[in-house]
Amino acid sequence: MKRSERIANYALYTVFGALVLLVVWMLIPYWTYLFFGALLAFAFYPLNKLLAKKSRTTTYGPHSCSSLSSSSSSSRQASSS
Every domain of the chain and the residues it spans = 3-80
pLDDT of residue 61: 57
pTM for the whole structure: 0.36
Contact 59, 49 (CB under 8 A): yes
Per-residue pLDDT for 71 more than 90? no
Output phi, psi for 77, to 5 deg: -65, -40
pLDDT of residue 14: 94
